[in-house]
Structure 1
Amino acid sequence: MTPLGPVLAFDTAAAHCAAALLWDTEIRVSRIEPMARGQAERLMPLLEEVLAETGIGWADLTALGVGIGPGNFTGIRISVAAARGLGLGLAVPVVGVSTLEALALGAEGPALVSLDARRGNAYLQGFGADGTALAPPVMAPVETAALPGTGPAPLCLGDLAPELATRSGGTVVPPRHPLPEAIARIAARRARPDLPPPAPLYLRPADAAPAKPAPALLTP
């Protein structure tokens, strides 16, 4: 497979603003800036800085990668909307990558990946030794969740790796790649012209109920 030109990846699905630029097989720039809020204002300047640091422009990009969650509703919307707009404007493919899959990239064996979903819950997904997802991701209570079938003694990664390793007999290991770098590498593998636009991966129901329609006005 011929390596793509520059691939820009970014993520705001958690309490950070993160970006990386992959060129051929090398990560040229990688940034993760912790922040609880303000991602909408920081994302585009951060991307401009990443491009400037490598000396390339928007028109040089051949693909985009974006984190689609699971995670913070607002954060996911920020990055996915930006990726869709940039993809249209630059006429390049946009690859949506889940945080769980990105964390599992490069794991040397069956992996059980977790993210803290708050309120005693976790986002969970199991991956085979080849990195293939064994089932769709789920949100479930940390203490009672049915663990995805990864076989005996999986590699446990992510926020709740110690708890899951205790329950599964697995081993705690760190992700092989920082999050934005993993998103960029997966995007480079999957980019093709006919990809549909990326869609957010929401596993938690929205906290806010949709607005009710106004009652009809009766006229005599």
Structure 2
Amino acid sequence: MFDTSGPFVCAGSAFDGYSGGSVRDMPKGQAENLFPIIEQVLEARNWTLAEIDAVGVATGPGNFTGIRISVSAARGLGLALGVPVFGITQFELAYGQTPVPAGTLVSVPAPRDLAYIEGFGTNGCAGQPQIIDPAHPPKALQLSFGMSVHGHRAAEIATHSEASAHPSNYTPDPARMADIAVAKYLAATQFPPPPAPNYVKPPDAAPARDMPPLIVP
């Protein structure tokens, strides 16, 4: 199980009641260091890649390039080993368990002092992940009595509603990530579809402004 959606590499494993791993700050070099770190985490438990039963990977939201690195690595690893690959969102990691209860909105930090949010369940807060200003949450969230807001700046998001607030700040945790991956593995009745990146927002890179070269026939 691994996560490179931020300036870090978080890799964990779980087996027979154990869950743990390693977190390393890494603003650069994630692609080159991801598999060596995974192997080190496995070697610490005297395991090899061939003994993996399933792969878990954080799908975002977060850093665009980091998400691409981890999701593509997980899909390739699952294909090579013939094992299922389970995507885990930052919302699930921030909440701490899966499935997230219906009527819950989870918030995680986004660039420029904003927040990524996702609502779970069949009520007003359910829907696709989006990015908002926590200080001025959109009325379309339809947060009402009995709902709860968890995570980053939860109190601000819930201020003008009847929802309860449960502020918390999740930091990369290999044990939590491994436990959620195991929960998804145990609940599965068939191989899940390959995980897809959960970007929420497009990359900040702007298209090139230079005119393309003239091609002479």
Class of the TM-score when normalised by the shorter of the 2 chains: 0.7 to 0.9
Residue by residue over 1:102-157, the C-alpha shift from the partner in whole angstroms, topping out at 9 and shown as x without a partner, is 2224478843211221124211112359xxx9322111233333264454264433
Does residue 146 (structure 1) correspond to residue 138 (structure 2)? The answer is: yes
Does residue 172 (structure 1) correspond to residue 166 (structure 2)? The answer is: yes
SS in 1 for 2:159: helix
1:111–1:189 Cα change, 3 Å? same
Q: Hey, what does 1:188 align to over in structure 2? A: 182
Matched residues in 2 for 1:28 and 1:198: separation?
22
1:160–1:176 Cα change, 3 Å? closer
Matched residues in 2 for 1:120 and 1:49: separation?
35
1:151–1:208 Cα change, 3 Å? same
Q: Hey, what does 2:62 align to over in structure 1? A: 71
Q: How does 1:37-186 map to 2 (within 5 A)?
A: 37-106=28-97, 110-128=103-121, 134-146=126-138, 148-149=141-142, 151-152=144-145, 154-168=147-161, 170-174=164-168, 179-186=173-180
1:88–1:67 Cα change, 3 Å? same
Residue by residue over 1:19-44, the C-alpha shift from the partner in whole angstroms, topping out at 9 and shown as x without a partner, is 221214x2432322233333223322
Residue by residue over 1:169-199, the C-alpha shift from the partner in whole angstroms, topping out at 9 and shown as x without a partner, is 5232447996443433333344455322211
SS in 2 for 1:18: strand
SS in 2 for 1:54: coil
Which range moved further: 169-178 or 89-98? 169-178
Question: Unaligned stretches of 5+ in structure 1?
Answer: 1-8
Q: 1:63 Cα deviation (Å)?
A: 0.3
Q: How does 1:3-22 map to 2 (within 5 A)?
A: 9-22=1-14
Matched residues in 2 for 1:75 and 1:162: separation?
29
Amino acid at match of 1:217: I
Amino acid at match of 2:131: M
TM-score when scaled to structure 1?
0.77
1:216–1:101 Cα change, 3 Å? same
1:77–1:108 Cα change, 3 Å? closer
Matched residues in 1 for 2:18 and 2:104: separation?
24
1:208–1:23 Cα change, 3 Å? same
Question: Unaligned stretches of 5+ in structure 2?
Answer: none
Which range moved further: 66-75 or 148-157? 148-157
Amino acid at match of 1:47: I
1:59–1:205 Cα change, 3 Å? same
Matched residues in 2 for 1:182 and 1:50: separation?
15
1:84–1:138 Cα change, 3 Å? same
Amino acid at match of 1:135: G
Matched residues in 2 for 1:14 and 1:177: separation?
10
Q: How does 1:27-42 map to 2 (within 5 A)?
A: 27-42=18-33
Identity of aligned residues (%): 38
Amino acid at match of 2:165: T
1:197–1:216 Cα change, 3 Å? farther
